[in-house]
Amino acid sequence: MIWQGVISQYKKYLPVSDKTPVITLQEGNTPLLYSSFLSREVGSGFSVYLKFEGANPTGSFKDRGMTLAVSKAVEEGSKGVICASTGNTSASAAAYSAKAGIKCVVLIPKGAIAKGKLTQALFHGAKVIAVDGNFDDCFEIVKKITENYPITMVNSINPNRIEGQKTGAFEICDYLKSAPCFHFIPVGNAGNITAYWKGYNEYFRAGEITRLPHMLGFQAAGAAPIVKGEKVDNPETIATAIRIGNPASWQSAVKAQEESKGVIESVTDQEIIEAYKLIPSHDGIFVEPASAASVAGLLKLIRRGFFKDVENGNIVCVLTGHGLKDPDIALEEAQAPVVVGPDLDKIVELIF
Ligand SMILES: *Cc1c(COP(=O)(O)O)cnc(C)c1O
């Protein structure tokens, strides 16, 4: 059967009916790639898979939640949606709103979102408002607006976002025919770790899987409120998608960590950049810096000897967004190309 998007595929697990107008860009069904490089790094008995969410229509996992959030907004008669965003939520909200023919408003921290994401939001026709403040400021304002005006909030405190995003867990289990032992994931506003944990639990209760994974969430060291146990007023990291000081789903992320006997830790920007460079060079996929936090977390636990005394099995790292959205840091890290004239001999010399 041809893939029709996550609502069509998983409707029996989602809050939809035959009357729900399905607004889809055929998101989901993203690659789950075996990484021989990372499997080798962990050691024998372990298989590492990369869930490449950059392959979604707008280039991030946000599409899984946005298809449901926008479909439900339209079903409820809403004329528009609004969100605060570090970039990808706005790109996704703008695209699904365009498809639905409804208004989209996004508040972004001025100068702090990647160019590709800003371009997407603008080009899909959203009303983009750059706020001279950070994500947390934008989020507070959006909350107040939606309490007082007729516009639907599509940040991940909208439960439909979490519902849609849990389909990532279903796909992993469908593909592996079981749940992984360890699930690595970047943590920003903490909606996605919440959604995956919900998805695994629902599949468990439905008898689709017979075990649950340990959830291993990673924040950026300069934006690690959950790890520190307190809000961070001025979060700082190169991984702009997870530059968040007061996560909306803080409690449910801690719950996922505790119930699954997992961890929520932090990785430094240096560790993020290391993983950010390793993934494309070994596995052939280009991710954005925030996405590399999951693999940075895996490498950190490998170095600590974490996998020496745990049961063998499958490890999944979620790669949340596409690298093309944010090439600036990549260009700083990459070696500039060699420049020569149209000189055959010189070029041959450079190659061999
Ligand atoms: C939104 C986002 C995250 C963080 O997800 P949360 O649900 O906010 O924890 C991580 N990586 C990318 C690329 C994102 O767009």
Rounded to an integer, what distance in angstroms lies between the CA atom of residue 318 and that of residue 71?
A: 25
Supply the residue whose CA is at minimum distance from atom 13 of ligand 1. 321
- Is the C-beta atom of 321 inside 6 A of ligand 1? yes
Map tokens 């700083």 to a residue. Answer: 332
CB contact set of 335 (below 8 Å; sequence gap of 6+): none
For ligand 1, the distance from its centroid to the CA atom of residue 240, given in whole angstroms, is 9
Q: Report helix, strand or coil for 225.
A: helix
pLDDT of 137: 94
CB contact set of 343 (below 8 Å; sequence gap of 6+): none
Please check whether residue 75 is in contact with residue 21, taking contact to mean a CB–CB distance below 8 angstroms. yes
Rounded to an integer, what distance in angstroms lies between the CA atom of residue 135 and that of residue 177?
A: 38
Q: Which residues pair with 33 in a beta bridge?
A: 50
pLDDT of 347: 97
Rounded to an integer, what distance in angstroms lies between the CA atom of residue 169 and that of residue 30?
A: 11
The identity of residue 262, as a single letter, is G
To test the pocket of ligand 1, the residue of 60, 240, 317 to mutate (highest count of ligand atoms within 8 Å of its CB) is 60
Q: Report helix, strand or coil for 279.
A: helix
Please check whether residue 173 is in contact with residue 210, taking contact to mean a CB–CB distance below 8 angstroms. no
Rounded to an integer, what distance in angstroms lies between the CA atom of residue 107 and that of residue 142?
A: 8
For ligand 1, the distance from its centroid to the CA atom of residue 88, given in whole angstroms, is 8
H or E stretch covering 103 = strand 103-109
The identity of residue 210, as a single letter, is T
Which parts of the chain sit beneath pLDDT 70? none
For ligand 1, the distance from its centroid to the CA atom of residue 343, given in whole angstroms, is 46
Tell me the average pLDDT of the chain: 97
For ligand 1, the distance from its centroid to the CA atom of residue 61, given in whole angstroms, is 8
Helices and strands in the chain: count of H runs, count of E runs: 15, 10
Rounded to an integer, what distance in angstroms lies between the CA atom of residue 185 and that of residue 264?
A: 9
pLDDT of 1: 80
